[in-house]
Amino acid sequence: MNTILAQLLNGLDKGAAYALIALGLTLVFGTLGVVNFAHGALFMLGCFCAVAFRYLLTIETVSVDPTQLSPWGQPVQVRTPLVQDWLGDFGALMVDYSVPFSILLTVPVMLVIGIAMERGLIRHFYKRTHAEQILVTFGLAIVLGELVKSVFGPNPWPQPIPSDLRGAADIGIWLGMEPRSLTYPMWRVIYLLFSLAVIGGVFAFLRFTTFGMVVRAGMADREAVGLLGINIDRRFTVVFGLAAVVAGVAGAMYTPLLAPNYHIGMDFLVLSFVVVVVGGMGSLPGAVLAGFLLGILQSFASMTQIKTFLPGIDQVIVYLVAVVVLLVRPRGLLGRRGVMEG
Amino acid sequence: MFHLSRKDQVKLAIFALVVVTMPIWLAPLGAAYPGLMQKFAIYAIFAIGFNILFGLTGYLSFGHAAFLGVGSYTAVWSFKLLSMDILPALLFAVLVAGLFALVIGFFSLRRTGIYFSILTLAFAQMCYSLAYSVLTPITNGETGLLLARDDPRVIDAALGAGTVGGAGLPSPALLGNSVTGYFGFYICAALLILTFYISQKIFASPFGLALRGIKSNQTRMIYTGFNIRPYMLAAFVISGMFAGLAGGLLAVTDPIAGAERMRWTESGNIVLMTILGGVGTLIGPVIGAWVIKYFENIFSAINKNMLNATFDFLPDGMQNIAVTVLSKFVGEGWHLTLGLLFVLIVVFLPGGLVEGYLKLVARLRRGRGTKPEAGGK
Amino acid sequence: MSVTSEKNIVLHAADVIKNFGGLRALSDIDLQIEEGKTHAIIGPNGAGKSTLLNVIIGRIAPTSGAVVFDGTVLTGKAPHEINQLGISRVFQTPEIFADLSVLHNVMAPAFARRDGAFRLNMFRATAREAAIRDEAESLLNDFGMWDRRDDHSGALSRGDKRRLELCMCLIQHPRLLLLDEPTAGMSRHDTNTTIELLKKIKLRGMTKVIIEHDMHVVFSLADKISVLAQGRIIASGLPQDIKEDPRVQEAYLGGAAE
């Protein structure tokens, strides 16, 4: 029982990342009709927002403290991050909590990047074929990846978990079980809760604002909304920006779980496309559901009991599910018929 | 139209001439090494094959690298088990890749558009992941499949033929002649010319016309009485076999096969080559493959010192700026150049370099009323 | 070929019913098409004309009943199989190969004719190739498009696309040609040209079914007319009988001033 619960939890945080990326992808599909292969790159840029934020925070002054001597009798060099100099303890806290604080940087940066991308490139591809959309966004993904590589280098940048949030959460107690019967890394719990909040936020935004209603109407019937004389173009830009922000924060918060490098985007992209397809093209709840489902499936497939029974299943389960879903139920779990067909 | 027209024959002759004289005209470009020229030929074969699927039918496969990888593994296994001769190796590479394409195509072609792309992607990723994990006994995992001195090589053993290569590892041979250097290149070149010829034949055949019909209007095809599934599957398998041939040749020129050849970004690369040159044209994919391989090997070798030397004539400050900026685009950063080039091509020249060339020619000739035909050189 | 009361019935839609959900689109359709005749199906919008055509062509399976073409039941057959039996179709919006040249557009259907079953004859020029090319060129010539044979067909005008589509159907020598509002959205001039064109085809003795609501077109071409209203055939007969039938006038001609 506990093993199963543990595997479930293991799947949930990965599933949460899939769900967040797939959510943005679906939003862009559904409203703009664009197949965005650069969406993984947006996730990657979010990761590097966190990296850059921490990098900026930890620019240090080096002072020599003559009152302290090292064991070799030389004065000790004291390194103080500038923020700590300026903001005192709060600065130190910021450095410790750099990952969550980086959201402050990620949101505006990703919004700008998203808007720039839509205005500069994506918008010219609304009327082109899906193949061409795939190609241009694939090229863009390469460019973004390489730009990041030329700034940050090819190696991964591990990000620390804030010191208070390291260690494990005793989930068993929350569920009324024996203490320490089911523990789970704290940060993963936070990531899960965070993504649920973001997903909830996006859904609430789409459900309860006029803007969101127009977007949902547009997903259902684009032409009709255009006929209402609503300025779709501007809304498209905002939707793309929103998708970029969701992908970005998903990336920024994921950095402590997986040290990002420049091709993390490509790695996540394929999986999230599979998620979108399994969930049903153009279905937001489908994307979220499929994200969690595939994360959990992947986690169960990597259990030793299952691996000995079906060797290699952990490697291919996601793709296998995608193939089966596409062949048996091409519109995915919750998708409508005919979306993006042909 | 459906036999090779005189025009096509001339094109074939020119193409053959260009390929065979590569060592001459590539020399001033600094790329006349047999190893590099082999890559030019091999990836051109791969791109020509991919173009038969994507160019003619419009079905965008994102999993073609799998067939390349399968071809490589098969060829190396043929070297290990049967013989160091490249004929069985290439034959099996083509056949096994074709078999994979038959299975993957059978399922993937049940869907169209983006769904087809994702299906091929998923299948290829499965091949890739399995090659790294469970199939390690066959693929030798991350190390890659290598030759060993004590491989059985039953045919060679039965014939009592000694293997070429002396004391070290045996090397691939064609009827007893070691396939290295220029000999290796000319084998690849001959196969490239053959591939080009086959591609010309397909383009000019009723089969090719049917494929273009499928790309143009599937509804009309169906209501015209064509059962399009077998046509699509045939195109998919042929194109997979070409990829297998390319993979086999990679193993022939360097007998090692690794799973990284099957990564989905490798599939992306072949798409890139085809688009860059000109999708749906005969010569475009070849040019695309050459340009990208040239960039990869020559552009990536440019370093800061070379740039400094080039911009020596500028004042110091400007020299620094120019070198700093440009160095991001060469050497390690050549992928950036490639990505940018690719985006620009898709945005401004969807027909690729061939279309660009034709537009240029048309502009130069404006007034004389000659209408260029796509696929021209 | 079965002979039914001295006339040759090529196509017989027998007791066809089609429901969409709870909605009855076609009820008790019994339609017989005689060989060599031009049979028009008319009716106001929403009468079920397109549904009937789609049932005939096998695109929609009837809820009950069957469509029989020359002794073969069409229900459950794939569109390409139905074409193989000798039924060609002209669409409301011309469906052509916009990326191919005009000549290739006409040649491609010829390769599918009767043996569209897959053949991978890429290395051998088919023996029929020269003949097919000649036939395509002569068809284009008949339809006044010969000098445009190398043009990109996507660039043709709507009227020319319709002509091209007709050529594509004719080169298959179909036993039955289905035309779905062949003049929809055309100017008066283009409509008249198309009528002339169809009259020309009529001389070839081909059986045709025309779905149309333009009375001018219908009465210029039809040998026999069936009137469809609210999913039923309310009248069937010669053009002059239909003209005078009070039920038809009430259901259709009287109401809609064409």
How far from C42 is each of B187, C30, C209, CA to CA, in Å? 67, 15, 11
Tens of pLDDT along B204-248? Answer: 888 888 899 999 988 888 888 888 888 899 999 999 999 999 999
User: Secondary structure of A12-54 in the HEC alphabet?
Assistant: HHHHHHHHHHHHHHHHHHHHHCCCCCCHHHHHHHHHHHHHHHH
Task: Kindly tell me whether chain B and chain A come into contact, counting contact as 3+ Cβ pairs under 8 Å.
Answer: yes
Rounded-to-integer distance, Cα B294 and Cα B277, Å = 13
This prediction's pTM: 0.85
The residue among B103, B112, B118 with the most chain A CBs within 10 A of its CB, best to mutate, is B118
C119 with C69, same domain: the answer is: no
Tens of pLDDT along B27-52? Answer: 888 778 888 899 999 999 999 999 99
Residues of C in contact with B226 (CB under 8 A): 80, 112, 116
CB pairs under 8 A between B and C: 98
Biggest CA pair distance of chain A: 80
The residue among C74, C85, C96, C118 with the most chain B CBs within 10 A of its CB, best to mutate, is C118
Which pLDDT does position B241 carry in this prediction? 96
Q: Distance from C1 to chain B by nearest Cα, in Å?
A: 22
Tens of pLDDT along B136-176? Answer: 788 887 778 888 777 777 777 777 765 555 556 777 877 77
Q: Closest chain B residue to A151 measured between Cα atoms?
A: B328
> Is the model's pLDDT at A126 over the cut of 60?
yes
The residue among B195, B212, B221, B224 with the most chain C CBs within 10 A of its CB, best to mutate, is B224
Rounded-to-integer distance, Cα A139 and Cα A132, Å = 11
Class of residue A278 by CB neighbours under 10 A (exposed 0-12, middle 13-18, buried 19+):
buried
Residues of A in contact with B122 (CB under 8 A): 274, 319, 322-323, 326
Kindly determine whether residue C126 and residue B206, on different chains, have CB atoms separated by under 8 Å. Answer: yes
How far from B76 is each of B164, B264, C58, CA to CA, in Å? 16, 22, 51
* Cβ–Cβ contact C153 with B under 8 A: no
Rounded-to-integer distance, Cα A2 and Cα B248, Å = 50
C145 with C97, same domain: the answer is: yes
The residue among B265, B326, B346 with the most chain A CBs within 10 A of its CB, best to mutate, is B346
Tokens 């059962």 belong to B227
Please provide the average confidence, as pLDDT, over all residues in chain C. 80
Rounded-to-integer distance, Cα C258 and Cα C248, Å = 14
pLDDT top residue among B200 and A224: B200
Task: Kindly tell me whether chain C and chain A come into contact, counting contact as 3+ Cβ pairs under 8 Å.
Answer: no
Tens of pLDDT along A52-97? Answer: 998 888 877 777 777 777 777 777 777 777 777 777 777 778 888 8
How much is the average pLDDT of B302-329? Answer: 76
CB pairs under 8 A between A and B: 124
**Residues comprising chain B, all counted:** 377
C72 with C178, same domain: the answer is: yes
* Cβ–Cβ contact C89 with B under 8 A: yes
* Cβ–Cβ contact B217 with C under 8 A: yes
Q: Distance from A28 to chain B by nearest Cα, in Å?
A: 15
What is the percent of chain A where pLDDT is above 70?
A: 93
Nearest Cα neighbor of A108 from A256, A244, A264 is: A244
pLDDT top residue among B150 and A120: A120
Which of the four pLDDT bands, split at 50, 70 and 90, describes residue C122? very low
C10 with C133, same domain: the answer is: no
Q: Where are the domains of chain A?
A: 2-54+98-328
Chain A residues whose C-beta sits inside 8 Å of any chain B C-beta? 35, 121, 124, 128, 130-132, 134-136, 138-143, 145-147, 149-150, 154, 266, 270, 273-274, 277, 281, 311-312, 315-316, 319-320, 322-323, 326-327, 330, 340-342
* Cβ–Cβ contact B373 with C under 8 A: no
**3-class DSSP assignment, residue C30:** strand
How much is the average pLDDT of B260-279? Answer: 86
- The helix (run of H) or strand (run of E) holding residue B7 is helix B6-20
Tens of pLDDT along A194-250? Answer: 999 999 999 998 888 888 887 777 777 666 666 666 667 778 888 899 999 999 999
Which range has highest mean pLDDT (B81-85, B194-198, C162-166, C190-194)? Answer: B194-198
- Helices A264-279 + B264-277 axis angle, to 10: 90
* Cβ–Cβ contact C118 with B under 8 A: yes
Which of the four pLDDT bands, split at 50, 70 and 90, describes residue A150? confident
* Cβ–Cβ contact B207 with C under 8 A: yes
Chain B residues whose C-beta sits inside 8 Å of any chain A C-beta? 54, 58, 60, 62, 107, 110-115, 117-119, 121-123, 125-126, 129-130, 132-135, 218, 264-265, 268, 271-272, 275, 328, 332-333, 335-336, 338-340, 342-343, 346-347, 350
What is the percent of chain A where pLDDT is above 90?
A: 20
Residues of B in contact with A342 (CB under 8 A): 112-113, 218
Q: Closest chain B residue to A121 measured between Cα atoms?
A: B347
How much is the average pLDDT of B48-74? Answer: 93
Which pLDDT does position B180 carry in this prediction? 79
pLDDT top residue among C94 and B156: C94
Contacts of A154 (CB under 8 A, 6+ apart): A261, A262, B332
Q: Distance from A149 to chain B by nearest Cα, in Å?
A: 8
Domain end call among C173, C190, C215: C173
> DSSP E strands: which ranges in B283-372?
none
* Cβ–Cβ contact B224 with C under 8 A: yes
Tokens 């049917």 belong to B210
Least CB-CB distance to C112: which of B205, B225, B230? B225
Domain encompassing residue C233: 1-86+174-258
In chain C, how many domains are there?
2
Kindly determine whether residue C98 and residue B216, on different chains, have CB atoms separated by under 8 Å. Answer: yes
C117 with C169, same domain: the answer is: yes
Tens of pLDDT along A162-198? Answer: 888 887 777 777 777 777 777 788 888 889 999 999 9
Looking at residue C107, which CATH number applies to its domain? 3.40.50.300
Which of the four pLDDT bands, split at 50, 70 and 90, describes residue C230? confident
Domain end call among C157, C173, C189: C173
ipTM: 0.82
Please provide the average confidence, as pLDDT, over all residues in chain B. 84
Rounded-to-integer distance, Cα B5 and Cα A328, Å = 45
Residues of B in contact with A330 (CB under 8 A): 111, 115
Least CB-CB distance to A311: which of B134, B218, B275? B134
> Is the model's pLDDT at B344 over the cut of 70?
yes
Which pLDDT does position B47 carry in this prediction? 95
* Cβ–Cβ contact C257 with B under 8 A: no
Q: Distance from A107 to chain B by nearest Cα, in Å?
A: 26
CATH, range A2-54+98-328: 1.10.3470
Which of the four pLDDT bands, split at 50, 70 and 90, describes residue C253? low
Kindly determine whether residue B225 and residue C168, on different chains, have CB atoms separated by under 8 Å. Answer: no
Domain end call among C113, C141, C173: C173
C28 with C39, same domain: the answer is: yes
> Is the model's pLDDT at C9 over the cut of 90?
no
Check residue C245 and report its DSSP letter. Answer: -
> DSSP E strands: which ranges in A116-203?
168-170, 183-185
Kindly determine whether residue C113 and residue B202, on different chains, have CB atoms separated by under 8 Å. Answer: no
Q: Closest chain B residue to A146 measured between Cα atoms?
A: B336
Which pLDDT does position A336 carry in this prediction? 65
> Is the model's pLDDT at B375 over the cut of 70?
no
Residues of C in contact with B215 (CB under 8 A): 99
Tens of pLDDT along C157-212? Answer: 878 888 888 888 888 888 888 888 888 777 788 788 888 888 887 777 788 899 88
- Kind of pairing, strands A168-170 and A183-185? antiparallel
Kindly determine whether residue B343 and residue A323, on different chains, have CB atoms separated by under 8 Å. Answer: no
Q: Closest chain B residue to A328 measured between Cα atoms?
A: B110
String of DSSP letters for B68-83 = HHHHHHHHHHHHHHT-
- How far from each other are the two terminal CA atoms of chain B, in whole angstroms? 18
pLDDT top residue among B189 and B144: B189
